[in-house]
């Protein structure tokens, strides 16, 4: 028994010896290649002309070199062939090198990772990471909260006070409030806006409330389709926005009664609506703040993201800044137009009719736009501006 165990151990030691002898001959090398008295490791064999590397070779501890971290790639290659850490450290620091990307197509061809920046709301890091932090830590949570708060406020107002009713009985006499051209300009703009708003909300927030319901694959297809819709509806919105701006500009200049309207909050709380012109001061604020100011920012940043501005070099930082500007302006615009859409649908009786048919009843005009009604009555503004009205809409002053 003892003899056979002893024989087995001997055989095992022998086999190990043989194995280690074999390994060193193929360059794989045992864990520790015997260091020559000179301390120089035997040269690793070449295979097919390729210089092998003896990874088990203990080299003088290169990292003990005080300048290890400052070594260039070339220096590192001498002490640790294949270790490209210096190159990646440079890439991570945003240093521009050369890459095989055609410069014509990729303005930042040699720059794999952007240099360090600090956007408001991010820590100092590579620009791409800084943008991601701003998007995920600020734009999404705060933008989303703003929209939810506005929807909630509108719901509380609607269920608390109900829609603004026309108190007096309709006279049956109609006044043309919007011509067919004004209505088509408005609705093409409104439809493009709603398409952009819904696709934008799904792209930005869909992963929180749609993806868990329909799953990643379907959500992937949905957001892909909506992204394309968004890219095409953008230019349509831009053109119709300019037409809406020019079309309604004349009636949106400050006029008598506007300040009083603002001071009383348009009677939204008291219920006593102050007199106003064709458009009240609240509508004028939406016009200048929403249609003009935010519209300009949303469209121009959207054109950058759609790469529609000729002559602009579309680098990553350009897109990141355009995205952050676009996100902030669109959230504010959606919040503003949620109020407009509420008043233009269920929030005020008769308003929707005006933009749908073009006509409002005299009573509606007198109660909501008294100065405009008086001007129509006085003949200062024609009660019918477009071609003769269809029979159902006979205007009698």
| CA–CA separation, 295 and 319 (whole Å) | 19
Please, are residues 131 and 115 in contact by the beta-carbon 8 Å criterion?
no
Tokens of 188: 């093409």
- Chain centroid offset of residue 267 CA: 36
Complex with ligand HEM: residue 116 or 303, whichever CB lies closer: 303
User: Which position has the token pair 């048919």?
Assistant: 357
- DSSP state, residue 393: G
Please, are residues 351 and 344 in contact by the beta-carbon 8 Å criterion?
yes
What sign does the CA torsion over 31, 36, 39, 45 have?
A: negative
* Binding of ligand HEM by 373 (CB under 6 A): no
CB of 145 to ligand HEM, least distance (A): 22
The binding track of 276-315 with respect to ligand HEM, each residue x by CB under 6 A or -, is ---x---xx--x---x------------------------
What sign does the CA torsion over 281, 282, 287, 293 have?
A: positive
The binding track of 136-175 with respect to ligand HEM, each residue x by CB under 6 A or -, is ----------------------------------------
Contacting residue, 341, 370, 381, 395, with ligand HEM by CB under 6 A? 341
| CA–CA separation, 135 and 122 (whole Å) | 9
Complex with ligand HEM: residue 56 or 288, whichever CB lies closer: 288
The binding track of 344-363 with respect to ligand HEM, each residue x by CB under 6 A or -, is xx-----xx-xx--------
CB of 168 to ligand HEM, least distance (A): 17
Complex with ligand HEM: residue 131 or 337, whichever CB lies closer: 337
Q: Whose CA is closest to 340, among 294, 296, 302, 287?
A: 287
Complex with ligand HEM: residue 206 or 358, whichever CB lies closer: 358
Site for ligand HEM in 187-206 (CB under 6 A): 189-190, 193-194
| CA–CA separation, 164 and 343 (whole Å) | 9
Nearby residues of 177 by Cβ (< 8 Å), 6 or more positions away: 278, 354, 355, 358, 359, 360, 365
Complex with ligand HEM: residue 127 or 197, whichever CB lies closer: 197
Q: What is the DSSP string of 249-287?
A: HGGGS--TTHHHHHHTGGGTTTS-PPP--SS-HHHHHII
Site for ligand HEM in 235-274 (CB under 6 A): 241, 244, 248, 252
Complex with ligand HEM: residue 126 or 189, whichever CB lies closer: 189
CA dist list (Å): 39 to 35, 137, 151, 269: 5, 55, 77, 91
Complex with ligand HEM: residue 127 or 241, whichever CB lies closer: 241
CB of 342 to ligand HEM, least distance (A): 9
User: Which position has the token pair 């090398």?
Assistant: 29
Closest CB to ligand HEM belongs to which residue?
Answer: 344
The binding track of 23-62 with respect to ligand HEM, each residue x by CB under 6 A or -, is ----------------------------------------
Complex with ligand HEM: residue 77 or 268, whichever CB lies closer: 268
* Binding of ligand HEM by 230 (CB under 6 A): no
* Site for ligand HEM, rule CB under 6 A: 177, 186, 189-190, 193-194, 241, 244, 248, 252, 279, 283-284, 287, 291, 337, 340-341, 344-345, 351-352, 354-355
């Amino acid at each position: 028994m003892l003899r056979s165990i002893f024989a087995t151990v001997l055989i095992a030691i022998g086999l190990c010896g043989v194995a280690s002898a074999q390994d060193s001959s193929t360059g794989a090398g045992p864990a520790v290649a015997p260091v020559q008295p000179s301390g120089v490791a035997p040269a690793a064999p070449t295979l097919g002309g390729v210089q092998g590397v003896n990874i088990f070779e203990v080299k003088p501890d290169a990292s003990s070199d005080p300048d290890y971290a400052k070594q260039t790639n070339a220096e590192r290659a001498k002490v640790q062939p294949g270790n490209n850490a210096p190159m990646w450290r440079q890439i991570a620091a945003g240093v521009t090198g050369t890459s095989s990307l055609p410069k014509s197509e990729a303005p930042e061809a040699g720059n794999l990772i952007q240099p360090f920046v600090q956007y408001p709301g991010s820590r100092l890091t590579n620009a791409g990471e800084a943008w991601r932090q701003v998007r995920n830590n600020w734009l999404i949570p705060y933008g989303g909260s703003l929209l939810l708060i506005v929807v909630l406020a509108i719901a509380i107002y609607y269920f608390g006070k109900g829609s603004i009713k026309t108190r007096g009985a309709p006279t049956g006499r109609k006044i043309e409030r919007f011509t067919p051209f004004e209505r088509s300009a408005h609705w093409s703009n409104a439809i493009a806006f709603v398409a952009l708003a819904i696709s934008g909300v799904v792209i930005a927030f869909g992963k929180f409330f749609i993806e868990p319901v329909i799953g990643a694959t379907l959500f992937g297809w949905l957001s892909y389709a909506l992204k394309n819709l968004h890219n095409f509806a953008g230019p349509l919105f831009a053109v119709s926005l300019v037409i809406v701006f020019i079309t309604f500009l004349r009636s949106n200049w400050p006029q008598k009664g506007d300040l009083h309207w603002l001071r009383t909050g348009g009677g939204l709380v008291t219920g006593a609506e102050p007199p106003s012109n064709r458009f009240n001061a609240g509508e004028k604020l939406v016009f200048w703040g929403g249609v003009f100011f935010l519209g300009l920012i949303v469209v121009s940043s959207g054109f950058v993201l759609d790469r529609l501005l000729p002559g602009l070099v579309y680098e990553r930082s350009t897109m990141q800044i355009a995205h952050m500007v676009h996100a902030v302006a669109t959230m504010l615009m959606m919040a503003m137009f949620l109020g407009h859409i509420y008043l233009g649908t269920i929030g005020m009786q008769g308003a929707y009719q005006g933009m749908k048919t073009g006509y409002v009843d005299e009573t509606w005009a007198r109660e909501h736009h008294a100065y405009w009604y008086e001007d129509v009555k006085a003949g200062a503004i024609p009660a019918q501006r477009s071609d003769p009205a269809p029979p159902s809409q006979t205007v009698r002053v």
